[in-house]
Each structure stands twice: as C-alpha cells, then as structure tokens.
C-alpha cells in the first residue's frame, strides 16, 4: 500500500519533471546536429509510447507499427517534395527518370500542403481502423494478430519497393528543401524543429495518460486481462480493441511526419520488419506497462546505439540482443518495474500515516 509509483499525483509530477528536462535541452545545447539528433529520439519516444498504449495497456502486440509510421512518413515526404516543385518543373525528378510525364493521381492531393498533411495523418489512421476492425471483429488476437500485422507490414514494404515510379522505390523520397508551414520554413536543425517534436511528444503522452485513466482505459485493461469475461459485462471487445489500436496508429503516423520533417528523407527501410521490432524492444526494455518507461526505453536504446553502435559496429546488435534477453528474463515488465519494486520497498519500510490518507492510490498494473 502507499507505493509512490502508483500514486496518480506522483505520476503526473514525474511526467512534469520529465518534460521539463526535455524542454531545457534546446536552451543548453548549441550544437545543431546534436539537437536534431535529440529531436529524432523524441520521434522514437512517440513510437515507443504508441506501442506501450497498444501492447502494454491494450494487450495487443503489434509488430507492424511501421505501417502507420511509414505511411505517415511517406505522406509527409510527398507533401514536402511537392512544396519544392514549381510551375515550370511540376514533376519530381525521380518520376521523370521512371518515364512518367505527368503527376500521377496518387500525388495530386499533395500539391496542397494542408491536404497533404491531413492525408499523411488520416490515411494510416483509417488503415488501422479498417484493418483492426476486420481483425478484431473476427476475434483474431494474441500471436495471431501479431503475425497478421507482420504480414501486412511486409506487404506494404514490397508494394512501396516495387512501385518505383510512384514511391521512388528503394531510394525512397528525398525532398530537397525543409518543410514550409504557413510560409515559415522549419529548419530541421533549428530549435523550432525540436520544439515541434517536443510538443507532439508531450501532447501524445498527456493524451495517452488521460486515456489510460479514463473509463475507456479501465475497460481496455480489463480486456487485456480476460477479453472473454468483459464481453459478458456488455462491452464490445472488438470496438475497444479497434479504438486503442487506431489511436496507437495515429500517434505513430504523427511520429512519421515529424521524422521526415527532421531528416528530409524516407525509404522502404522505415517499413522494414527490423525497425518495427525495435519499437517493441524499446517498449519491452523500458517497461511496456509504463508510458514514460517506454519512452525512456527508446531514448536509452537509440542513444546507446548512436554512441556505442559506432564503437562496437556489428557486435552492437549482439549486445542489444543480450540486454534484451536479460531484461525479458529478469525484468519481464522492463526497467520501469525496477522503479516500481524499489518504491514499493520504500513504502513497506516506512508505513507512514500519509499512506493511509492515500486511499485512492490504486495499484494500477499500469504505471
């Protein structure tokens, strides 16, 4: 009882501190390359957050989050590509190389930045709603759903690779200039770009946290525990699963847009199986039951990869794999559970009267 880890107020304070630290970074970091790198970690944090929401809270293991991320990224890249096309030069160069003489239908909506951005977010979200709806209605769950997402991911990967004239094939898209929004250019190496990602990460995290605390979140956790039982309480399990899967996809799509804004590049590699698996590993190591833990997991792993990856080269993957096995074996709920048990020990050692007054602090299995 009285474990600070489960105290809602303490949780919100932790969130506040976490984002305060992230907000200080651009004020202290002068190196624009480093700032850009930190911003990409923010994108990975968003992806880990989306996995935590779907897998940790909803119990839906999704090995194909790269679909939503990739589609969002392609939509954004197409929008940015079209921003640099002019009247005299209306077609992206790679299309000319593939002997297209006019802009294909698929690309036309992206001539408008507004429509392009809406599509970049809406298309992946709609995909999740439809695909999830079909799967969950048919009561596909657990490892079977994971396999379906993996298959879907591979299908998208193949299509994008194959339709070279429309997607740039293996080279992907490399919009030549930075993203322009409402007449303002967002330089990917500027603090502005960092702030954009920061705001989306914080917004997504706060919304995700509120979702887990809502009645919806409670039903979702009940479904994770025993979907069969929840049906007899009157809840449509398929409906809840579809909604949480779609919200998770929406966050990943936003992450995809942010990512392209930062790196001005997208290729089928973003829909590669290994990248989607990395997202799951971030959440697993950080602690999939904790939103903040998952984001931290992404920072930790990607940070380590950036700095140790160069030193160890190929052995880095072995180190990462070994670390993953260790965590899964000894900390099945990730690094966050270390904090949970630590604070739990503290609470049992000093049974303070404050713990009494804290009757509302429930041992939510989440956070």
Partner 1 sequence: MPGLLEIHNLSKSFDATKVIDNFSLEVVEGTLCCLVGPNGAGKTTTLDLITGRIKPTGGKILFANEDITAKHEHVIARAGIGRKFQVPAVLRDLTVRQNLEVSYSRQTNPFWNLFKFRPAGLKTKLDEIATLAGLTGRLNERAGILSHGETQWLEIGMVLMQEPRLLLMDEPIAGMTEVEIEKTARIFKDLRKTATLIVVEHDMGFVREIADVVTVMHMGSLLAQGTIRQVEADPRVRDVYLGEQEAA
List residues binding partner 1 (CB under 8 A).
Answer: 1, 211, 213-216, 218-219, 221-222, 224-226, 228-237, 239-240, 243, 359, 362-365
Looking at the Cβ atoms of 102 and 362, the one nearer to partner 1 is 362
* Shortest distance, position 246 Cβ to partner 1, whole Å: 10
Looking at the Cβ atoms of 108 and 357, the one nearer to partner 1 is 357
* Shortest distance, position 355 Cβ to partner 1, whole Å: 11
* Shortest distance, position 247 Cβ to partner 1, whole Å: 9
Looking at the Cβ atoms of 73 and 219, the one nearer to partner 1 is 219
Looking at the Cβ atoms of 235 and 275, the one nearer to partner 1 is 235
Looking at the Cβ atoms of 216 and 316, the one nearer to partner 1 is 216
* Shortest distance, position 1 Cβ to partner 1, whole Å: 7
Looking at the Cβ atoms of 193 and 291, the one nearer to partner 1 is 291
* Shortest distance, position 352 Cβ to partner 1, whole Å: 16
* Shortest distance, position 225 Cβ to partner 1, whole Å: 4
Looking at the Cβ atoms of 1 and 170, the one nearer to partner 1 is 1
Nearest to 42 by CA among 276, 262, 329: 262
* Shortest distance, position 255 Cβ to partner 1, whole Å: 21
Looking at the Cβ atoms of 24 and 218, the one nearer to partner 1 is 218
* Shortest distance, position 53 Cβ to partner 1, whole Å: 12
Phi-psi region of 154 (alpha: psi -120 to 50; beta: other; left: phi over 0): alpha
CA–CA distance, 178 with 32 (Å, rounded to integer) = 15
* Shortest distance, position 105 Cβ to partner 1, whole Å: 33
* Shortest distance, position 215 Cβ to partner 1, whole Å: 4
Looking at the Cβ atoms of 9 and 89, the one nearer to partner 1 is 9
CA–CA distance, 132 with 149 (Å, rounded to integer) = 9
Contact 290, 271 (CB under 8 A): no
Looking at the Cβ atoms of 186 and 207, the one nearer to partner 1 is 207
Q: Report the 3 state secondary structure along the chain.
A: CCCHHHCHHHHHHHHHHHHHHHHHHHHHCCCHHHHHHHHHHHHHHHHHHHHHHHHHHCCCCCCCHHHHHHHHHHHHHHHHHHHCCCCCCCCCHHHHHCCCCCCCHHHHHHHCHHHHHHHHHHHHHHHHHHHHHHHHHCCCCHHHHHHHHHHHHHHHHHHHHHCHHHHCHHHCECCCCCEEECCEEECCCCHHHHHHHHHHHHHHHHHHHHHHHCHHHHHHHHHHHHHHHHHCCCCCHHHHHHHHHHHHHHHHHHHHHHHHHHHCCECHHHHCHHHHHHHHHHHHHHCCCCHHHHHHHHHHHHHHHHHHHHHHCCHHHHHHHHHHHHHHHHCCCHHHHHHHHHHHHHHHHCCCHHHHHCCCCCCCCCC
Angle at 210 between CA 262 and CA 341, to 5 degrees: 95
């Amino acid at each position: 009882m009285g474990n600070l880890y489960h105290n809602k107020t303490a949780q919100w304070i932790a969130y506040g501190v976490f984002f305060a630290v992230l907000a200080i970074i651009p004020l202290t970091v002068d190196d624009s390359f480093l700032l850009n790198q930190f911003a990409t970690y923010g994108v990975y944090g968003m992806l880990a957050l989306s996995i935590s929401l779907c897998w940790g809270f909803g119990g839906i293991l999704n090995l194909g989050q790269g679909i939503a991320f990739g589609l969002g990224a392609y939509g954004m890249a197409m929008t940015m590509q079209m921003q640099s096309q002019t009247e005299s030069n209306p077609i992206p160069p790679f299309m000319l190389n593939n002997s297209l003489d006019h802009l294909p239908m698929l690309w036309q909506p992206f001539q408008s930045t507004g429509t392009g951005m809406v599509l970049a977010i809406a298309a992946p979200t709609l995909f999740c709603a439809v695909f999830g709806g079909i799967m969950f209605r048919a009561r596909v769950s657990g490892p079977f759903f994971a396999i379906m997402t993996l298959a879907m991911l591979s299908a998208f990967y193949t299509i994008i690779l194959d339709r070279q004239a429309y997607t740039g094939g293996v080279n992907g898209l490399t919009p030549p200039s930075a993203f322009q929004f409402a007449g303002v250019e967002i330089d990917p190496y500027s603090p502005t770009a960092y702030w954009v990602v920061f705001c989306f990460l914080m917004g997504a995290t706060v919304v995700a946290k509120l979702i887990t605390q809502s009645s919806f979140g409670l039903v979702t956790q009940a479904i994770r525990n025993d979907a069969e039982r929840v049906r007899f309480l009157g809840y449509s399990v398929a409906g809840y699963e579809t909604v949480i899967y779609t919200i998770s996809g929406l966050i990943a799509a936003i992450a995809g847009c942010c990512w392209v804004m930062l790196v001005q590049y997208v290729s089928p590699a973003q829909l590669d199986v290994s990248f989607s698996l990395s997202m799951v590993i971030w959440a697993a190591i950080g602690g999939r039951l904790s939103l903040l833990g998952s984001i931290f997991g992404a920072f930790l792993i990607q940070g380590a990869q950036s700095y140790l990856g160069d030193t160890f080269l190929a052995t880095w993957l072995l180190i990462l794999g070994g670390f993953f096995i260790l965590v899964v074996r000894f900390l099945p709920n990730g690094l966050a559970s270390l904090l949970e048990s630590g604070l739990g020990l503290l609470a049992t050692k000093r049974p303070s009267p404050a713990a009494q007054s804290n009757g509302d602090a429930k041992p939510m299995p989440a956070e």
